[in-house]
Structures are given as structure tokens and as C-alpha cells.
Structure 1
Amino acid sequence: MAGVVTARRGRRPAGSGVPLTFEVIAEAVRERIRSGGLQSGDALPTQAALMREFGASSLTVQKAMTLLKQDGWAVSRPGKGAFVAHHDHPDDGAGDLDGPGVTAPAAGTTARVEALERALAEAVEQIADLRGRVEALETRSGKRDR
């Protein structure tokens, strides 16, 4: 497969361009869909098959499948498995992958990432504010104890 990126395990440092194993698996499946190797409605490879192919744990493969589903590339059918998403399933959050020129549902993903980044920045600000309040209280408490 062209453009294969070597994955690494564990946590990624901020700003690192090295994808984690579950991201490599998800991208490999997306590439199979883009190239026509998997068509809309086709069953995705089983968890066991992906574990063998990538030498990954079941949790890693599950994370890859979750990512594919969140991004609209795959849908789950209870009791049946995971399938390539297509327009026949609008209620399960999958986008239309049958249209000409469709490569990835990036706009929705980008918007979700940006919203999460904003929420994270707000949380960091709130933590810093609370930390300052605690330090102020501890300082006042320390002065009274003397």
C-alpha cells in the first residue's frame, strides 16, 4: 500500500505528526474505501482480521472502528457487524459516500475537532482560575497560622 506510515504505540506528544496505531488502521480502511476496494454497504474486515493484519490489540482495533464510525465512514448493524457507510442509512450519522468526487467527510470532523479544542481551551482557563483561587486561599490561610 502506497503512503504507509509507521505507527507507534502509546501517547503522542503535542504537535507530533506520528499517527498512533488505531489512526493507521482507520486510515488504511479509509484508503480501501477511497480506492474502491471496499464499496458502500460492504462488510468491513472483522476485528480479528484487523488485529492479525496490523498486529494490534482488540482495544486498538475498536478505537479505529469507533473513529471510522464517528467520521461517517462506517456504520454498525447490531448482530451483523460493521459496514461501509452509504446514503441508505441517513439516521445512523453516516454521510453519503456514493457521490462523485467524495474522498472524506472532513468538514464535519474538522468542525468537531475545532469545537473540542475550544472546549478544552475553556477548561484550561477554568483550571488556571481555580488554581489561582486555591493558591490565594492557601496564602491567606498560611498568614493566619503564623
Structure 2
Amino acid sequence: MAEWSGRPAYQQVAQALRDQIRAGSLRPGTQLPSLADLMQEHRVSSTVVRMALAQLRADGLIVSHQGKGSFVQERDAGAQTSPAVERGVAKELLASLDSLQDRLRQLEERVSRLEDPAGRGVSKT
């Protein structure tokens, strides 16, 4: 299920599918679950699922065939990673880094409030 995390729901669904592909539970050539199944599994709308699949197609991880469904992209053993996949991975890493920085800032603020008995926070000089 997509959770309220500040990240768009379609990115969360795409990441969940990407993780399954990388973990090997969705192998090359395997058909992805249907649109309805993905909607139910992640508790999102068809628009969210379609956007997630579009992102995975742009990243070169899946291919879709009208009337047949979406399939994990077959990869040659010596195939190079496409620039689209590299950009997608870089974008994910930057988004994760931003999220971690936000969480670290929040933790620092909480620790600061806990360390200052007056609750004013510790001044940074």
C-alpha cells in the first residue's frame, strides 16, 4: 500500500515493483500482475498504477504489449545499463538522500529539545 511519505504514490508503487525485480521475485520475461491486481495490492487508483508502469518502462525495466500486459524486460548478460535506468537510479538515490537529510534534521531538533531542560533548544554558536 502506498503510504503518506511525501513521495508520490506512483513512485512508491514503482519502487515496490522495482524492488521485486531486483530481488528476483519478478524475473525477466515474467508478466506483471494485472492493473486491477496492482490497484488492489497497493490500494491505489488505476492512474497511479499506470504512472508507475510508465516510469518502469522509461527506466527500461519493463515492456508492455497492448492487450497482453506488462513484462519484466529481458536482459542480455553483457548488456549495458541504459542512460534512462542510470538517471532513474540517480534520481532515486538523490530522493533517498533528501529524505534521510530531512529525517536527520528532525532527529537533531528532537535531541536538541530533549537536551535543553527549558525546551528552548540548544543555540548553535
TM range (shorter): 0.5 to 0.7
CA RMSD in angstroms comes to: 2.9
1:75 counterpart = 2:71: no
Q: Structure 1 residues 22, 111: closer, same or farther in 2, change over 3 A?
A: closer
The percentage of counterpart residues that share the same residue type is: 35
Give 3-state SS (helix, strand or coil) of 1:83's partner: strand
**Residue of 3, 7, 20 corresponding to 1:7:** 3
Q: Which amino acid aligns with 2:59?
A: D
Structure 2 segments unaligned to the other structure (5+ residues): 92-125
Aligned to 1:33: 21
1:51 counterpart = 2:43: no
> Structure 1 length as normaliser, TM-score?
0.51
Contact preservation (8 Å) 2:28, 2:74: yes
Bigger RCO of structures 1 and 2 (CA < 8 A, at least 6 apart): 2
Deviating above 3 A after TM superposition, structure 1's stretches of 4 or more consecutive aligned residues are 108-112
| Rg larger in structure | 1
Contact preservation (8 Å) 2:60, 2:85: no
Structure 1 segments unaligned to the other structure (5+ residues): 9-16, 88-95, 113-146
Distance in 2 separating the partners of 1:80 and 1:106: 24
Count how many residue pairs are aligned between Structure 1 and Structure 2: 88
